[in-house]
Amino acid sequence: MAFEQGKLARMAPRMTESSKPVYQQVADWLRQMINAGELPPGAQLPTEKELSERFDAARATVRQGLTVLVNEGLIRPSRPRGYFVRGHELMYYRPQAEWRPHPTSPEMDRWMEEQTTLGREPSQKITVEIIKAPVRVATRLELGDDDLVVARRRVRFLDGEPFNLNDSFYPLELVQGSEIVNPADVARGTNQALTDLGYEQVRAIDEIESRMSLPDEVTRLELPIAAPVLVHRVTGFTADDRPVRHTLNVLIGSKHVVLFERQKNMGK
């Protein structure tokens, strides 16, 4: 019953901040090791057993501490091998790029170069549905609750890994019979297709929010657990201010940076 080793081990990390709950001490200790680089991305953490001995705590307690770090996105459990430090390779995501094929000032390039020019393998899965407009879509497309929209859903992959969800909605009456309803790649882009139909978009509103991923997003993005996601919504308007497209982008928060560039005295 008595556990001499345990008492000694307890001295080390636990005394320093004796007021805090033990599970937080565990989390703090590991977090600091990770931030200091002592546990680099990919490194394996001490096992639950080792931690419970080192902190002289029950396994459930160190587990509670590990859960904190998992929820923070710092570590990833890989059963039954152990916990590993997550690496975060950031992708830059530029909503403005859809209208500016070759934009970017030299400043931006410096930050992007490292990540963007890695020669990745993109692919996507497309499905198309005709559905009643969900509330948030109907609002933005200025439709009634019973109006139909074409929902063009894409899961985009990079090197085989799910990268984001990209669902676009179009009022059915505008695109019926066009290639947009066809669940295949539109080579020249759906925006060009809309233009060809007489609905060129000249203005867009971008909305960006952040929340935890929903259960079905966890599935589609093949996430190990719920993680923060960036939700990016675009509503495209024609010259006469008619909304003709709404796109819902769900990006894995830890993997993306959304980038905008703006200039003073541009509009009006």
| Interface residues toward DNA, by CB under 7 A | 21-24, 45, 47-49, 56-61, 63-64, 77, 79-83
Interface with its own copies includes 230 (CB under 8 A)?
yes
Which of 17, 64, 69, 9 is CA-nearest to residue 45?
69
**How far is Cα 157 from Cα 123, in angstroms, rounded to an integer?**
5
Of the chain, the end-to-end C-alpha distance in Å amounts to: 78
Interface with its own copies includes 12 (CB under 8 A)?
no
Stretch near its own copies under the rule CB under 8 A, chosen from 1-9, 163-171, 180-188, 196-204:
196-204
Q: CB-wise, 24 or 254, nearer to DNA? A: 24
Beta bridge mates, 248: 167, 233
Q: CB-wise, 122 or 267, nearer to its own copies? A: 267
Residue 205 touches which member of DNA, its own copies, none, C-beta under 5-8 Å by kind: its own copies
Whether residue 230 contacts residue 192, with contact meaning beta carbons closer than 8 Å, is answered with no
Interface with its own copies includes 105 (CB under 8 A)?
yes
Residue 47 touches which member of DNA, its own copies, none, C-beta under 5-8 Å by kind: DNA
Shortest separation between residue 183's beta carbon and its own copies, angstroms: 27
**How far is Cα 152 from Cα 229, in angstroms, rounded to an integer?**
20
**Which of 121, 146, 160, 260 is the binder for its own copies (CB under 8 A)?**
260
Q: Which residue has tokens 């950031």?
A: 90
Q: CB-wise, 52 or 235, nearer to DNA? A: 52
Interface with its own copies includes 228 (CB under 8 A)?
yes
- Show the 3-state SS of 88-146: CCCEEECHHHHCCCCCCCHHHHHHHHHHHCCCCCEEEEEEEEEEECCHHHHHHHCCCCC
Whether residue 92 contacts residue 115, with contact meaning beta carbons closer than 8 Å, is answered with yes
Interface with its own copies includes 261 (CB under 8 A)?
yes
Contacts of 252 (CB under 8 A, 6+ apart): 163, 164, 221, 223, 227, 229, 230
Q: CB-wise, 101 or 160, nearer to its own copies? A: 101
Q: Which residues bind its own copies (CB under 8 A)?
A: 28, 31, 60, 67-68, 71-73, 90, 95-96, 99, 105-108, 111, 139, 201-212, 215, 226, 228-230, 235, 237, 241, 243, 253-254, 256-267
